[in-house]
Amino acid sequence: MEILHPEDKNSKESSSVMDTLMNTAIRAEYSSPLLSLHMSPPSELNEAERAKLEELTEANKGLLAPLCEDYNFKVSSFPE
| 49-76 per-position pLDDT tens digit | 889 989 988 888 887 777 666 666 555 5
pTM of the model: 0.35
**Residue pair 54/23 in contact by the 8 Å Cβ criterion:** no
Note every long-range contact of 9-14, with CB atoms under 8 Å and residues 24 or more positions apart, other chains counting.
Answer: 9/64
Residue 12 phi/psi, 5-degree rounding, is: -60, -45
* Distance separating alpha carbons of residues 64 and 10, to the nearest angstrom: 11
Task: Of 15, 58, 26, give the one whose Cα is nearest residue 2.
Answer: 15
| 3-state helix/strand/coil string of 22-35 | HHHHHHHHHCCHHH
